[in-house]
Structure 1
Amino acid sequence: MSEQQQAAISRFPVPELSEMPEDIRDRILAVQEKAGFVPNVFLVLAHRPDEFRAFFAYHDALMDKPGNLTQAEREMIVVATSNLNQCQYCVVAHGAILRVRAKDPLIADQVAANYRKADITERQKAMLDFAVKVSMQAFAVSEEDFATLKRHGFDEDDIWDITGIVSFFGLSNRMANVTSMRPNDEFYSLGRQAR
């Protein structure tokens, strides 16, 4: 086993699956069955069961809903803003999800490094410009920002969704950084081959 594989996934205690409440254990086993592995975020956050439930309920409400934002666009927001927050876990994990959902092996690296130069649409760049502003300067968001997004086809619900995703992952990024949450090795190769 390499040193990386032996490294702790959190600086806080990680409960054993058998010690977790049944609903949390069932959720983790369902994720494992679907993904083929258990993303470390589930194990790390199981340290606090009530917070685990609240975290994933809000995550699912933001990321799994229908709407004008595609699932890939939602992941773009996570990758771009998590990079600003220097969150290794979220850039790596959501970068993998972005590659899979966009069916594009290059997009996550492009968005993380500099979305302005990425091979994405002008609409998506406007979306990420707004997401970055919400992440770094929410106090400066103005009606002009709303007008720009509306010119690109976003409506009020979309703007709320973008804001919610940025805000939620601001929390997630900070928890991941402070807990020293380690990305699973499996994330690094997911979606790297063109389909």
Structure 2
Amino acid sequence: MAHIKLPEFSDMSPKIQKLVKPRLEKNGTLDETTRLLSLREDIFLATNNMVINFLITKTELPYSTKERIAVLVSMENGCKICVNAHKTLAKRLGMSDKQVEQILGGIDTIECGEGEKLLLKFCLRASRKDSYKILKSDIDEVKNMGYSDTQIFEAVAITGYFNYINTITNVFGLEDEA
């Protein structure tokens, strides 16, 4: 149970209601993360835009890489609700059960190229409190594996998003809904 009272659909702003109504109609309920974010329309809308732009929209990184980052960073942060949500989303975006299970086993169990493994390890380093210790040489190492500046920037932005949403869901004690 969440550590604070979460709004019901009827308590949400009309703008948020319009955005979440299809989910409510499809699932019969709204997840706790959506309800928590709806406490503040500005925070809800900003977060919703990040999800759309970082995860849903086709970008420079493939969906599989983005979902690997999502699950790995969420595992690192101990955010079960986000791990399970992104296991489900990864499957909806075309990843097999085997590919999802590999992510849960850690980077070394993922069947992907060495370049992607290096990018994923870089993202985990970027997710930590001592990310200020990352050097130009660390970024150059990822670039030497074929990633562009903008792809690395995107990967770090996704990493930052998961640090943000993992913090919110963990601090407020949201339950694992999977």
Q: TM-score, normalised by structure 1?
A: 0.81
Would you say the 8 A contact 1:99–1:106 is kept in 2?
A: no
- Of the three residues 142, 145, 169, the one matched with 1:149 is 142
Aligned to 1:171: 164
- Of the three residues 124, 127, 138, the one matched with 2:116 is 124
Aligned to 2:46: 54
- Of the three residues 45, 51, 54, the one matched with 2:37 is 45
**Is there any run of 5+ residues in structure 1 with no aligned partner, and where?**
1-7, 186-195
Q: TM-score, normalised by structure 2?
A: 0.88
Residue 36 of structure 1 deviates from its aligned partner by 7.3
**Residues 35/15 of structure 1: CA separation in 2 closer, same or farther (3 Å cut):** closer
- Of the three residues 158, 161, 186, the one matched with 2:154 is 161
- Map residues 25-44 of structure 1 onto 2, 5 A cutoff: 25-32=17-24, 38-44=30-36
- Map residues 1-195 of structure 1 onto 2, 5 A cutoff: 8=1, 10-32=2-24, 38-136=30-128, 137-185=130-178
In the alignment, the residues of structure 2 paired with residue 19 and residue 35 of structure 1 have an alpha-carbon distance, to the nearest angstrom, of 18
Residue 66 of structure 1 deviates from its aligned partner by 3.0
Aligned to 1:188: none
In the alignment, the residues of structure 2 paired with residue 58 and residue 164 of structure 1 have an alpha-carbon distance, to the nearest angstrom, of 9
**Residues 35/128 of structure 1: CA separation in 2 closer, same or farther (3 Å cut):** farther
Q: Percent identity?
A: 22
**Residues 32/154 of structure 1: CA separation in 2 closer, same or farther (3 Å cut):** farther
**Which SS does the other structure have where 1:181 is aligned?**
coil
Q: How many residues align?
A: 177
Residue 41 of structure 1 deviates from its aligned partner by 1.5
Would you say the 8 A contact 1:63–1:71 is kept in 2?
A: yes
Would you say the 8 A contact 1:76–1:111 is kept in 2?
A: yes
Letter in 1 for 2:143: K
Would you say the 8 A contact 1:123–1:152 is kept in 2?
A: yes
**Which SS does the other structure have where 1:106 is aligned?**
helix
**What is the root-mean-square deviation in Å for CA atoms of aligned residues?**
2.0
Letter in 2 for 1:112: L
